[in-house]
Chains A and B, each alone.
Chain A
Amino acid sequence: MDSLKKEMLQKKAAEIRVDIMEMLCEAGSGHPGGSLSIADIFAYLYFSGELKLDPKNPLMKDRDRVILSKGHACPVLYSTLIEKGYIDRFNLKTLRKFGSILQGHPDMKKVPGVDMSTGSLGQGLSVGVGMALGLRLDNSPANIFVIIGDGESEEGQIWEAAMAAAHYKLGNIIGILDKNGLQIDGFTKDIMNSEPIADKWRAFGWKVIEISAHNFDEIENAIGKAKEFKDGPVMIIANSVKGKGVSFMENQCGWHGKTPNPEERDKAISELTGALKK
């Protein structure tokens, strides 16, 4: 990736993270940790030009689909959709408030650009399987990106969907596992150890690509390879840091579902914008 593109993506990711902080501080509830861990991936998906998307035509035929199966991380999705121009910026201040289109978990009927309502964990990959089957029947070139969590992978339905995607050789599904190693009650390895997770996906018949979730070269390379591979589903295991970009939130279980107060928000934003200037 050339340095210009990388700089642009870094800037977008920082802007998304800043929006997440603003949004969550205003809302007073919500999930920062798992939103920050996938901010770089969202910046790449929506701003690299890799995906076929049109903010002016959110239901465009043959668009690529994005399903945020770990729906509690919706601040990253909302921020991205605001940055991309799907929804107006004023919505940022309305997250989780009565009457807002920005519900506590994503609602496809309210927010342009949200391809699936999610929230109850473990269902997004199955929805992706259905979309993949439907789009394949129509010979659509679209890909379906499904973002799941490592805690979420404890849900049995994830593995039902894993079986089905491989069984139907769904080459149009690209899974992204946000492997941040934390869940509400603690470290994933302590709560319910799902390792060796890459071996599990391989055993279920998926092609697996392991990357750092915060390295744009690796993200680009993985998504490029995943798109080329048409024989079956691909899982990109994105090793991430929960709370990435905000020092005091990084790898801290407590920041799964706690929001920054105004001082913490300001500190976070100055860190994020400061890092960008370096």
Chain B
Amino acid sequence: MITDFAKKILSTEAKKVATRTAYGDTITALGETNKNIVALDCDLSKSTMTATFAKKFPDRFFNFGIAEADMMSAAAGLATTGKIPFASTFAVFATKRAADQISSSIAYPHLNVKICATHAGISVGEDGATHQAIEDVAIMRAIPGIVVLSPCDATETKKVIETVVEYNGPCYVRLTRTNIPVLFNDSYNFKIGKGIKIMEGTKATLISTGFMTHIAFEAAKKLEEQGIEVDFINMASIKPIDEELIIESAKKTKVVITVEDHNVIGGLGSAVCELLSEKLPTKVIRLGVQDKFGASGETYELINAYGFGEESIINTVKSVI
């Protein structure tokens, strides 16, 4: 059943917004009062939605052309002058082409750069494998000192962006392309290192992040209708992860299922396994991309075909309880 806490923060409106859109809107709103905010992009501003910021604050927007390495190091340079750079491009290019720049220029000196990468996961859809980041969380998580956040809807994205502006240090925010339901209302407060329990149950712990939360939520509700109640947790903060919440739930349910639009190697599932194997050995099943490249197709069609859609989640939970 829905937790009392979740009842207060769940949205009652049926609205669909892409997290990238919420990102563009939020940095623009914050940019009104915080003049240190600058936005950087690599010729994808209309897709990452930094174009919203660029339109309002042309002097504080810098397009680097199709040159991701240059943009990331330049973001580091801007941060040394006291600016708060939001550097955006697709997650594939941000984290793979510019991995060294993020590591050496941004993370090693712990500079205050916010890498907000969009079009993460196979949920990108039609563009296919070369444009679908399935390793980005793994790469960012492995670099010391980077906070890795993966908001699940427009509200959480807004709160995440408001939080990273106040946080001093490098952050990776994983955003997605497709319009998805707005799950939370504005009273929701995000904290780095904290997840939220949306449903309470005893049969299993279901943890999802980012794009997958609205799908996992539907699965959890359908399971409840069938009399199978699970702890359902949304984990936007992948690094640092909410250890307390996960351990407390795993202690109760004895089995954990993670769901992410990412390779099962190195993402949320891995983070949960790392935690539990050290502190509370528990069976974990990782749903997500099973170590293969993505493909072209429609968003939900792909997620179902890759075996981590609503039906797969329901069947997996049933198979382990």
Contacts and interface: CB of A to CB of B under 8 A. Distances in A.
Contacts of A127: 73-74, 76-77, 80, 105
A135 B72 CA distance: 17
Contacts of B110: 109
Interface string B46-72: 000000000000011010110101111
A129 B77 CA distance: 7
Counting chain B CB atoms within 10 Å of each CB, which of A119, A122, A130, A156 scores highest?
A: A130
A261 interface: no
Nearest to A162: B70
Contacts of B109: 107-109, 116-117
10 contacts: A119-B104, A122-B69, A123-B105, A126-B72, A126-B77, A131-B80, A131-B81, A133-B62, A137-B38, A167-B65
Contact of B77 (A107, A119, A120, A134): A134
Nearest to A135: B81
Nearest to B85: A130
B100 interface: yes
Counting chain A CB atoms within 10 Å of each CB, which of B70, B77, B109 scores highest?
A: B77
B101 A126 contact: yes
A137 B59 contact: yes
Nearest to A168: B62
B43 to A, nearest CB: 12
Counting chain B CB atoms within 10 Å of each CB, which of A107, A118, A133 scores highest?
A: A133
Given A117-B108, A123-B104, A164-B64, A129 B80 contact: no
A155 to B, nearest CB: 9
Given A120-B100, A137-B59, A128 B77 contact: yes
Given A107-B109, A119-B104, A130 B69 contact: no
A126 B73 contact: yes
Q: What secondary structure prevails in chain B residues at the interface with A?
A: helix
Interface string B25-48: 000000000000010000000000
Given A123-B105, A163-B67, A157 B77 contact: no
Interface in B214-254: none
Given A109-B110, A116-B109, A157-B101, 16 more contacts: A65-B80, A116-B76, A123-B69, A126-B72, A130-B77, A130-B78, A130-B79, A130-B81, A130-B85, A134-B77, A134-B80, A137-B81, A156-B69, A157-B69, A160-B65, A163-B67
A108 B81 CA distance: 14
Contact of B69 (A65, A119, A160): A160
A140 B81 CA distance: 10
B78 A160 contact: no
Given A160-B70, A161-B70, A163-B67, A138 B81 contact: yes
Contacts, number: 110
B273 interface: no
Contacts of A130: 73-81, 85
A164 B65 contact: yes
Interface in A100-122: 107-109, 115-120, 122
Contacts of A117: 104-105, 108-109
B307 interface: no
Interface string A126-152: 111111111101101000000000000
Nearest to B83: A134
Interface of A: 65, 107-109, 115-120, 122-124, 126-135, 137-138, 140, 156-157, 160-161, 163-164, 167-168
A128 B81 CA distance: 11
A157 B72 CA distance: 11
B67 A123 contact: no
B82 interface: yes
Contacts of B105: 116-117, 123, 126-127
A160 B65 CA distance: 9
Nearest to A144: B77
A115 B77 CA distance: 9
Nearest to B87: A130
Contacts of B80: 65, 108, 115-116, 127, 130-131, 134
B65 A134 contact: no
A133 B78 contact: yes
Interface in B236-294: none
B13 to A, nearest CB: 39
Given A123-B104, A164-B64, A164-B65, A134 B78 contact: yes
Shortest beta-carbon contacts, A-B, top 6:
A130-B77, A134-B81, A126-B73, A130-B74, A160-B70, A160-B67
A164 B77 CA distance: 13
B199 to A, nearest CB: 43
Nearest to B40: A130
B96 to A, nearest CB: 15
A107 B109 CA distance: 7
B65 A126 contact: no
A53 to B, nearest CB: 16
A200 to B, nearest CB: 17
Contacts of A132: 77
Contacts of B76: 116, 127, 130
